[in-house]
Amino acid sequence: MRVIVTGDAGFIGFHTTRRLLEEGHTVTGIDALTPYYDVSLKERRLEHLRGFTAFEHHTVMLEDAAAIRAIFERSQPDVVIHLAAQAGVRYSIEQPRAYIDANVVGSFNILEACRHVPVRHLLMASTSSAYGANEAFPFTETDKAVHPITLYAATKGAMELMGHCYSHLFRIPMTAFRFFTVYGPWGRPDMAYFLFTKRILAGEPIEIFNNGESYRDFTYIDDLVSAIRRLVNCVPPQVDQRAGLPAIEGDTLSPVAPYRLVNIGAGRPEKLTDLVAEIERALGLEAKRLYRPLPAGDVVKTFASAELLDRLTGDKPSTPLSVGIPAFVSWYRRHFN
């Protein structure tokens, strides 16, 4: 396949691009290398990818519609995996415009490019934050997600809605997937597990919010990439092509578009203090804890229903923290010497 991956220098984009290249596909990457976190980490990821002859990278802002369109016309992709975004729940309170620019305007430009350069399948990364103030667990794709509590979540929800419109109007086969707290080697330095590791090694205290009574459905990066890779082949059929196809229980296929929404999560929420304990075991050090109230925009719990993912692909994330955290710590020690 010829694949465009946006956000190829990011955490998830790097791992996804590497998997595709290892399988022998041709990948064109797009990433703006913005300084939301250490750009040198993004550059080191790209160094690994540039070892593949079938890889090409473009440092371009998603907001640059002309440049995005030119890359699509040159690459003629079969598949587009749109992972680039302005991430971070708390940062969206400080810098809201960055989220409108990247997640709304940038995603619109990707949709427009797919409209003019037709693709076999467009896959777009959304977030568990889209479930907002929902309190029914587990979060199921058919739940209404109309009460976002951060602009980050709202922009991702807007992307999903724009995607459905384009899928309907221009018959673009499209899958939107909602990620649940992804972690692992080469991860983002602003994530809790990364910060905890860094501070424990430095002998500094770590901040534990909501007095430790927070839960997250952690998804190990290799499991996530495997799910994305399987979903590439689960192309939502056109409306007029569905007659005679076997029904999938709980499917979220749109009645008017070749569009589907899928959670990617383990379906196994873990307490924040259990995450800390796994990091302490992997490091052989004890953390100094500071307990803090829940910050604005944070939710107490995330919990994915992974049933649809399992039915579509025959698999779902299964790596426990007891395996994933030591793998991250081992990478961290090597990478930061």
88 has a pLDDT exceeding 90? no
Task: Determine whether domain 2-335 maps to CATH 1.10.3210.10.
Answer: no
Q: Residue 211: what pLDDT?
A: 86
pLDDT at 298: 85
Is residue 328's pLDDT more than 80? yes
Considering only residues 93 and 262, tell me which one the structure prediction assigns the higher pLDDT: 262
- With a CB cutoff of 8 Å and minimum separation 6, the contacts of 182 are 11, 12, 219, 220, 221, 224
Q: Which pTM was predicted?
A: 0.97
* Confidence category of residue 212, pLDDT binned at 50, 70, 90: confident
Select which of 36, 91, 152, 215 is catalytic.
152
Q: What is the pLDDT of residues 127-144, one digit of tens each?
A: 999 999 888 999 999 998
Q: Is the pLDDT assigned to residue 55 strictly greater than 80?
A: yes
What b/e string do you get for 29-53 counting C-beta neighbours within 10 Å, with b at 16 or more? Answer: bbbbeeebbeeebbeebbeebeebe
Question: What pLDDT, on a 0 to 100 scale, did the predictor assign at position 322?
Answer: 98
Whether 146 shows a pLDDT value over 80: the answer reads: no
Task: State the average pLDDT over residues 326-336.
Answer: 97
Q: What is the mean pLDDT of residues 91-110?
A: 94
Task: Average the pLDDT over 146-151 and give the result.
Answer: 89
pLDDT over 90 (residue 337): no
Q: Is 99 a catalytic residue?
A: no
- CA–CA separation, 326 vs 278, rounded Å? 8
